[in-house]
Structures are given as structure tokens and as C-alpha cells.
Amino acid sequence: METGKNPGAFGEADPGGGKRRYRSLLESSPDPIVVYDMNGTATYVNPAFERTFGWSREQLLGRRIDFVPPENLPETRAAIRSMLGGETIQLFETRRRTRDGRILDVQISSTLYEDDSGRPAGNIVILRDISAQKRAERELRRYQGQLEQLVEARTAELAASNRRLAREVEERKAVEEALRRREAELEAQSRHLAEVNTALKVLLKQREADRSELQQNVLVNLKELVHPYLERLKKSRLTTEQLTLVKILETNLNHIVSPFVGRLASRIYNLTPMEIRVANLVRAGRTTAEMADLLCISKNTVMFHRFNIRRKLGLANKKISLATHLLNFEE
């Protein structure tokens, strides 16, 4: 039973025509309206009620309308008690069943109406079908839930991506730090190798100088300490056999010193020790600057010795390379 407050009752005498106006308003209302007496019996239903719930007036008038789902009875009875206690029911949301068994979400407003003596005669109930609204709300909540799940999933993905990115950044920093350390190590090794290379170059220059000096010393010693005695032996009264042995000794000595010295020996005795050194370096392909560095003399001094060597070897005023000429002594 659903009740509320309004003066007068339907179906009674209406000298002023007020009830007819009320009935006209109820008949034209788009919302379902039902009027109950104090016993909960339906005394009026409008066309919207018939269309919405599927019962005709003939099936409802003079009877109780059994369209409250069992699960909604407690809240409906509580609302009726509040209304009978003088409260007006406004926009009370509940559910009602149609004739074909469908359950509608409805919004109810209800008030009591009084008879001519001012006593409660029944109640008028206006029902509004809000099923579509409720479905939309449920769908909206469902979409909202899905959206929240998607947001949570996306947030989790972003958090995971941020963690991965943070790890990658840390790993990249570690790699960059390792690369910087490696670059520093390589730079240190490069400096060390450069220093070693410089030292080796100095050692090679010194070795070349020592080798040249050794060759020159050997040549000088042969010239000053050996060849004079060999010449004296050859000029002395030697037998043919002895003279042959002296010549063999002279030849072997020249071969022992070097092939270059052996070829150059016959022409070298008119060269000074420094000229011998310069000639040996020229044959080795050294530049004027390198020879000056190795012999600890100036470039002009080197050029002076080269000029004297060319003159003594008969190359003055000839377009012949001194280095090539000296190398030909080994052929």
C-alpha cells in the first residue's frame, strides 16, 4: 500500500467542478498515478499506469495491487509508516513489478488526501519509471569500473615502465662510468705507449749511432792498425806462398768488416773518420737533420762532409745520388 495528503475524494459530488479538473490533470500525466483508500484498495489509476504496468483499470480498481517485489517489501512498508505518520514521501526510489513480470526501477512521491470532513481518506501515489536512468547509471558505473581498472592497469604499466627506465638509466650511467674509466685507462696506456715509443726511437737512434760508430771504429782500426802492417808485409821479401796468404788475410778482413766496407775500403782511405761516419749514414738513408742529430753536429757541417765525400769519390759536379752510389758498392 502506498499513500499521501490531498483534499477530497474521487467519485463524490463535485458542485464546483474541482474534482473534474484534478481528474483531467491525472489523466493527462505522463507518469503512472494510482489512488488508494485507507485500506490500500485502488480507487483510481490513470492511463499512464495502465500503459506502464500492463493492467487495465477494470483489473485493478477495488483491489489491492500486488506489484511490490518481495525484496522491496520492507522498505515499502517503512515508507508507508512514515507517510501515515505525517511525512510526505518525495522521490523514494524502489522497484515495482509489471503484469508480464518485468521489474521496473521507479521513483515514488506519495501524499495523503482528506475527505470533506478533514479526515484522511487515502493517498495519491505518483510513480516515475526510472529504469532507463538506472540502466544508464549501472552502465555508467560499469564503464567507470572498467575505466578505473584500465587506469589502474595503465598506472601499473607506467610504474613498471618508470622502474624499467630508472634501471636502464642506472645501467647506462654504470656503462658510461665504465667507459669513462676505460677511456682514462686507454689514455694512460696511450701516453705510456707514446713514452715507450719515444724511448724506443731514442734507443734506435742511439743504436744506429753506436753501430755507425762501431763500423767507423773498425774501419779506422783496420786503416791505422792492420793495413799498414799488411802493406809492409806485402813490400817485404815474401815467398809467393806467403804473399798469397797475406792477400787472403786482407780479403777476409775486408769481408769480415762488411760487404759495404769491402767495396768501399779501396776508396775510403782518403776519407776522414767523420766522413766515414757521414758516408755510412748516407748509405743508410738518413736525412741531413737526422745525421746532425745522431752525430751531434750542425746541418751545415753535415753538408760540408757530404760535399767532401762526393769530391773524394769523384762525384763532384755530377748529377748522381751519393746514397745510390754508396749502395752500389754492395752490388
Q: CB-side exposure of 219: number of CA atoms within 13 Å?
A: 28
Element (H, E) at 90: strand 89-97
Q: Name the pLDDT band for 252 (thresholds 50, 70, 90).
A: low
Identify the weakest region by mean pLDDT among 80-94, 131-145, 252-266. Answer: 252-266
Calpha distance 123→197 (Å, rounded): 115
Q: Is the pLDDT of residue 316 over 90?
A: no
Calpha distance 226→161 (Å, rounded): 91
Q: Name the pLDDT band for 314 (thresholds 50, 70, 90).
A: confident
Calpha distance 291→275 (Å, rounded): 12
Q: Name the pLDDT band for 200 (thresholds 50, 70, 90).
A: confident
Calpha distance 127→111 (Å, rounded): 12
Calpha distance 262→253 (Å, rounded): 8
Enumerate domains of the chain plus CATH numbers: 18-129 (3.30.450.20), 207-330 (no CATH)
Amino acid 131: pLDDT: 93
Strand order in the sheet with 103-114: 42-45, 33-37, 120-129, 103-114, 89-97
CA angle 272, 278, 280 (to 5 degrees): 105
Strand partners, 122: 37, 113
Identify the weakest region by mean pLDDT among 48-52, 163-167, 200-204. Answer: 200-204
- How many CB atoms sit inside 10 A of residue 279's CB? 30
**Average pLDDT of span 164-185:** 92
Amino acid 41: pLDDT: 95
pLDDT: which is higher, 294 or 217: 294
Q: Name the pLDDT band for 71 (thresholds 50, 70, 90).
A: very high
**Average pLDDT of span 169-184:** 92
Under a CB-based contact definition with an 8 Å cutoff, are residues 275 and 309 in contact? yes
Q: Is the pLDDT of residue 302 over 50?
A: yes
Q: How far is CA 173 from CA 157, 163, 178, 179, in A?
A: 24, 15, 8, 10
**What contacts 24+ positions apart, CB below 8 Å, involve 66-72?**
67/96, 67/97, 67/98, 68/96, 68/97, 69/95, 69/96, 69/97, 69/103, 71/95, 72/96
Amino acid 248: pLDDT: 64
What are the residues whose beta carbons fall under 8 Å from the beta carbon of 276, sequence distance 6 or more? 215, 216, 219, 220, 268
For residue range 201-213, list pLDDT tens digits in order: 888 888 877 776 7
Q: Is the pLDDT of residue 108 over 70?
A: yes
Amino acid 11: pLDDT: 47
All cell numbers assigned to 245? 796468404
